[in-house]
Amino acid sequence: MPLRRVIKYFEITAKRLKKLELGTIPFRLSTLVEPFQQAEVEHRLSKRVLVTCLEYEVPVVISTKSVLIRQSPWRELILKLANKGLILVQVSLSSFIDKVSEILEPRAPSPHDRLKLVEELTESGVPVMIRYQPFIPGVSDNEDSLVELFSELERVGVKHLVVESLRLPSKELNFVRKILKERNMWHEVPLESYGAKNESFFLRPSILWRINAYKVIKRLCDKHGIKFATCKEGLYNLWTAEDCCGLYLLSSERVKYRVTLREFWELTGGLRLLPSYDKVIKKLDLEKYLSSANVSSYPRVIKTGVKSHEKKLFKVISDRSLVKRLIGDTAYDRLIRGEF
């Protein structure tokens, strides 16, 4: 489907939500694709999304490595959305070392340029968080650069950081490893499969390595007054943030949440016993969350999305092996024994 048609559907949905006076889960701009590439200067599709969010008061989360949003008209739109508590900007980093960034992200602005963007936004009252990803052995855990990085994060006003480890198909991972090893920027670490079915196509650093590495990041976050979370990796006992994506930084009453494994973790004492899905849903504040219990009046696209998400989550919660795969077999067993 052409992108402009997708955006048109988004506009129709946004208008409907406004007319019905319904809050919603924030729109993501975007997840796997940079929304502010150079092509945005010509086509301005992301600008059109921001205009729609402003007009119909739809909360929006920007995830970017670009510094294009420092310019007009994007900056002005972001500031207007921030005044209404409707926008959160997530800036991605995997290293604070410019020469490393030049190798891994040759077309992206330098880490220092991205932090300058963060500083300008926070000074203007825009909530900004850091996505420290992909978290790469030997790169993202470099002790010397971490000290400097976190001092800078505190200085520019970052209040939230989420970390997510490198995960790649084995062939691509070997290529990245080769490039970094040639420059003495890779640490050999145990690897494990990524995915619910334990397939070996995608690999990531082992759970125990990640736990130890993330503890270091968490301590630095604590020291510098930054909330910490992980993304799609469990390890909720390490979190100090209310949610992984920093949605709590949005102040608009139109912001709604979807139910995740984290809510089950909190409401069931750490998933030591697999809970009844219906019982957990009944414990939730339905003024805050969207679930199958309260989406009947919503546009179909949101209603269908919420129910589909809930169905998948129910499948996970009903299968101990899936829970183990999502938070790590070894970590799960250690959590049950109360070892960390």
Chain centre to alpha carbon of residue 330 = 24
pLDDT in the model for residue 30 = 86
C-alpha distances in angstroms, 213 versus 61, 135, 136, 190, 208?
27, 9, 10, 13, 9
Q: HSE (CB half, 13 Å, CA atoms) of 34?
A: 17
pLDDT band at 340 (very low <50, low <70, confident <90, very high): very low
How far is it, in rounded angstroms, from Cα 47 to Cα 6?
14
How far is it, in rounded angstroms, from Cα 30 to Cα 32?
6
Check whether 98 has a pLDDT greater than 70.
yes
What percentage of the chain reaches a pLDDT higher than 90?
67
Tens digit of each residue's pLDDT (9 = 90 or more) over 276-317: 777 787 888 989 999 988 999 999 999 999 999 998 888 887
Phi, psi (degrees; rounded to nearest 5) at 228: -125, 140
pLDDT in the model for residue 335 = 54
Q: Which residues contact 269 (CB under 8 A, 6 or more apart)?
A: none
Sort strands 168-169 and 128-135 into parallel, antiparallel or unpaired.
Answer: unpaired
pLDDT in the model for residue 267 = 80
pLDDT in the model for residue 316 = 81
pLDDT in the model for residue 329 = 52
Q: Which domains does the chain have, with CATH numbers?
A: 3-255 (3.80.30.30), 257-340 (no CATH)
Using DSSP, state whether 203 is helix, strand or coil. Answer: strand
Check whether 91 has a pLDDT greater than 60.
yes
The mean pLDDT value for 58-64 works out to 98
Check whether 198 has a pLDDT greater than 80.
no
The mean pLDDT value for 156-181 works out to 94
pLDDT band at 319 (very low <50, low <70, confident <90, very high): confident
The first and second tokens of residue 238, run together, are 């390490």
pLDDT in the model for residue 21 = 96
Q: Average per-residue pLDDT in the chain?
A: 90
Check whether 1 has a pLDDT greater than 80.
no
- What is the DSSP code string of 21-45? T--BPPEEE-SSS-TTSTHHHHH-H
- Per-residue burial over 271-283, b if 16 or more Cβ lie within 10 Å, else e, is beeebebeebbee
Chain centre to alpha carbon of residue 90 = 8
pLDDT in the model for residue 4 = 80
pLDDT band at 332 (very low <50, low <70, confident <90, very high): low
The mean pLDDT value for 331-338 works out to 56
pLDDT in the model for residue 276 = 73
Contact call for residues 299 and 16 (beta carbons, < 8 A): yes
pLDDT in the model for residue 203 = 93
pTM, 2 dp: 0.93
The mean pLDDT value for 132-145 works out to 93
Length of the chain equals 340
Tens digit of each residue's pLDDT (9 = 90 or more) over 4-40: 888 999 999 999 999 999 999 999 998 889 999 999 9
DSSP secondary structure letter of residue 58: -
pLDDT band at 88 (very low <50, low <70, confident <90, very high): very high
| Helices 45-56, 3-20: inter-axial angle, 10-degree rounding | 10
pLDDT band at 248 (very low <50, low <70, confident <90, very high): very high
The mean pLDDT value for 127-155 works out to 95
